[in-house]
Amino acid sequence: MCLAVPGRIIKIQDSGALVDFGGARREVSLSLTPDAGLNDYVLVHAGFSIQVLDPDEAKATLELFKEIYDPR
């Protein structure tokens, strides 16, 4: 099973972008989404941004993740 996770681009770098996933930050390639920009939400799979997301839909998905994950 494959999983793609939404995150927000917080910094554009030479090698791609730094993406925030609710506190966890990772370097991500933008080679498949060259039009993605700062503060855009992107769907990330295997270190690659594969789609630019609508901000409202991305935020709704992130809220669902928060509901599912309860560290207690």
Under 8 Å between Cβ of 48 and 34? no
Rounded to whole angstroms, how far apart are CA atoms 60 and 43?
A: 13
Radius of gyration for the chain, computed over Cα atoms and rounded to the nearest angstrom: 12
pLDDT digits (tens, 9 = 90+) for 5-53: 999 999 999 889 999 998 899 999 999 999 999 999 999 999 999 999 9
| CATH architecture group of domain 5-68 | Roll (2.30)
Banded model confidence at residue 71, pLDDT cuts 50, 70, 90: low
Flag whether pLDDT at 1 surpasses 80. Answer: no
Record the pTM. Answer: 0.88
Say how far residue 51 (Cα) sits from the centre of its chain: 9
Residue with tokens 């993740």: 65
**Domain layout of the chain by residue ranges:** 5-68
Per-residue pLDDT at 65 exceeds 90 = no
